[in-house]
Amino acid sequence: MTGKVVVVTGAARGIGQGIAQVLGANGARVVGVDRTAGNGVEFVADISSPEANRDMVAFAVERYGCVDAVVACAAVSRRGPFVEIQPEDLAYTFAPTLYGAFYTCQAGARQMIAQGNGGSVLIVGSVHVHQHNPNSASYNMAKAALASLSRTIAAELAPHGIRVNSILPGWTDTPGELNFATREQLDEAGRRLPLGRLGRPEDIGQAALYLLSDEAAYVTGCELLVDGGITLNTRSANAKGEA
């Protein structure tokens, strides 16, 4: 990744920060983007609008001369029973998680097409694409839509030499998870997973490093599960016809 310019949204904490740190440690020139400053964030913006994403890409080009890759990671989730979800809850989740990711990919792709040197787009999805946890309807919908977007634009952008892939993280130990569980509950949940712990942001960062690097030059339209085996029990049960 030495010298490659990568824009990472949601970079102030959690998975986005983990991706930015791993890429930076491997030579990338990372433009961290978040709606809050600090923790290596260079560009502060709410990426829910197309204008913010255009400005973000323009900032990266002005600072480093080009954009080689974009990582759409920014996301939020407002959980609760399906029958109680209000329009404002749906809008809250969709704005950065779905629409923002769409605009990030679009702004990055437009710049890479203009440059004419190919590039890479990476969408951070979720294991919820395969494991539809209750009380997360709006988040699950957004991530499922992004899975479809990833494969659709992989086909469209391939003639331009732009690869598009997605990572599907499992249960990852991020600050946001403490909004829904205690430290003790998270640690206990991790011990019950096949690999014995929750994921860490740097685990997702290492997967991103591979998919964005030249080592993955022949990989596009890929969904890479990085879930510590959390879906294995579900898949095994389904194979036996169990609920």
33: helix, strand or coil: strand
Q: Which of 99, 143, 166, 213 is catalytic?
A: 143
Active site residue 150: no
Tell me if 59 sits within 8 A of 53, measured CB to CB: no
CA nearest neighbour of 208 among 197, 193, 229, 222: 222
d(CA 220, CA 153): 10
Average pLDDT over residues 9-24: 97
Average pLDDT over residues 222-229: 96
Q: Please, which pLDDT band fits residue 243 given cuts at 50, 70 and 90? A: very low
CATH number of the domain that residue 158 is part of: 3.40.50.720
Q: Please, which pLDDT band fits residue 234 given cuts at 50, 70 and 90? A: low
pLDDT at 227: 95
Q: Which of 139, 150, 166, 213 is catalytic?
A: 139
Average pLDDT over residues 184-188: 90
d(CA 210, CA 167): 11
Tell me if 70 sits within 8 A of 47, measured CB to CB: no
Tell me if 104 sits within 8 A of 53, measured CB to CB: yes
Share the mean pLDDT of the chain: 93
pLDDT at 235: 45
Average pLDDT over residues 134-142: 95
Active site residue 4: no
pLDDT at 242: 37
Show the domain range for 235.
5-239
Domain count, the chain: 1
pLDDT at 38: 85
Phi first, then psi, for residue 163 (nearest 5°) are -90, 145
Average pLDDT over residues 204-229: 97
- Token pair in block for residue 24: 């930076």
Condensed to tens digits (0 to 9), the pLDDT of residues 39-61 reads 889 999 999 999 999 999 999 99
Average pLDDT over residues 176-203: 89
Active site residue 143: yes
Who has greater pLDDT, 234 or 5? Answer: 5
